[in-house]
Amino acid sequence: MPDIKDIRNMVPAVQQTAYLNTGTCGPMPRVAYEAIKAELEKELTPARIDADHFPAIGEARNGVREIVAAAINADPSEIAITHRTTEGMYIAIMGYRWQAGDEIILSNIEHPGGMLPSFLAKRRFGVRVRVADIGLGGGNPADIVKAFEEKITPRTKMIVLSHVSYTTGAKLPLKEITQMAHAHGVLMVVDAAQSFGSMQLDMQDLGVDFYACPGQKWACGPEGTGSLYVKSSSIGEIEQNFAGGMTMGTMDYYGGSYAPAAGAARFDTAGANVGQTVGQKVSTKWVTQDVGLDWIEDRIGKLAKQTHEKLSKLKGVEVVTPKEPLSGLIAFTVEGIEPPDLNTRLAQEHNVTIRYVTKYINNPDAARVSLGFYNNEDDIEKFIDGIKKIQKSL
């Protein structure tokens, strides 16, 4: 079983503050830092310009494909390398062959990462965007599935949603929504910003078509890294937005045509920065294999439950996040202080790092904590104590 002291030593940043914001950006482990440094060192040597330079790029990308695929029970040929979650969402949404009047369904608690490419598809192709209101994302899973199903029409092509909502922290019944969507011939484009690296994931079981993952959040990789799972049978559903020498298979110059590279690698938009890509590979491996997603999911679940209970007991605090099914994110409000002010005061007066999220439709403006696997009880105590002291001063 992993030792929490070893884990915290591996991510030194979390020893300097009670860091409760992995949902924005995870702390980098030493192993990834060392791997990036070693790659950077090569930039100063002939390795930067030797014959192995280009093959090294392909190797680094394939290394990420293998580790990400293993973490979500997919095949490496189903993984594209991207710069971030949002880019994966763009690849799937903007790659679809839209006709004016086609429809996308969003939930009411999406992040701009899925919302904006959908709105852009409306501007560019005349796609109609419909919103399924699932409240805060908790309650009976069958009601959530129904809310999406009620919005489906013969023109619906895609449901675009987050596996875990970044505003409320609710984990959605993805498998059930996917089964319903597929029964209507609708594709599932999923934003995995708050799920990848924080829980065990099985693409075979979930059945989704596209799953856009960050490298820098729960997988603790460098900024500017991500990946996109494309189910092998759904690859033909979208076209490349970006075709280049590295994402091309064969071509016919006179015919003005080409065939894309095999598998999801045709959708690669990143990975040429070898240091960053190797850092992504090493941090993702450390999180998903060395620490282990089973242990991580269990630990995050326990820490989140504890935090949810402690927050719920505080007078003047309202917990926004539904208790079931809980992820690592908890949104809450404190009477008498706006979330941005609470955020600032916790940081400045108590050395506790959280963030706040804004109201879109019916989720409230709220403060949000993320419980990472490296957090400990002390972090939670500092956070709860900080809120109590701030409350007293109001």
Ligand X SMILES: Cc1ncc(COP(=O)(O)O)c(C=O)c1O
Q: Is 122 exposed, middle or buried (0-12, 13-18, 19+ CB in 10 A)?
A: middle
**Residue, CB closest to ligand X:** 113
- Determine, following the binding rule CB under 6 A, whether residue 228 of this chain makes contact with ligand X: no
Distance CA 85, CA 212 (A): 5
Region of 186-194, 279-287, 341-349, 358-366 interacting with ligand X (CB under 6 A): 186-194
Instruction: Indicate which single residue of 29, 113, 173, 275 sits in contact with ligand X (rule: CB under 6 A).
Output: 113
Q: What stretch of H or E contains 352?
A: strand 352-353
List the x/- string, 161-180, binding to ligand X by CB under 6 A. Answer: -x---x--------------
214 lies in the site for ligand X, by CB under 6 A: yes
* Residues forming a β-bridge with 30: none
Return the number of the residue (92 or 390) whose C-beta is nearest ligand X. 92
Write each residue from 70 to 89 as x if it is in contact with ligand X (CB under 6 A), else as -, in one continuous string.
--------------xxx---
Residue holding tokens 């394939």? 62
Site string for ligand X, 28-67 (x = CB under 6 A): ----------------------------------------
Cβ of residue 55: shortest distance to ligand X, in angstroms?
28
For position 108 contacting ligand X by CB under 6 A, the verdict is: no
23 vs 322, which CB is nearer to ligand X? 23
How many other CB atoms are there within 10 angstroms of residue 169's CB atom? 33
> Three-state SS across 207-237?
CCCEEEEECCCCCCCCCCCEEEEECHHHHHH
Instruction: Say how many C-beta atoms besides its own lie within 10 A of residue 351's C-beta.
Output: 13
- Residues 6 or more apart whose Cβ sits within 8 Å of residue 106: 114, 115, 118, 129, 130, 131, 132, 159, 160, 161
Which spans of this chain sit near ligand X (rule: CB under 6 A)? 23-24, 84-86, 111, 113, 162, 166, 191, 193-194, 214, 226
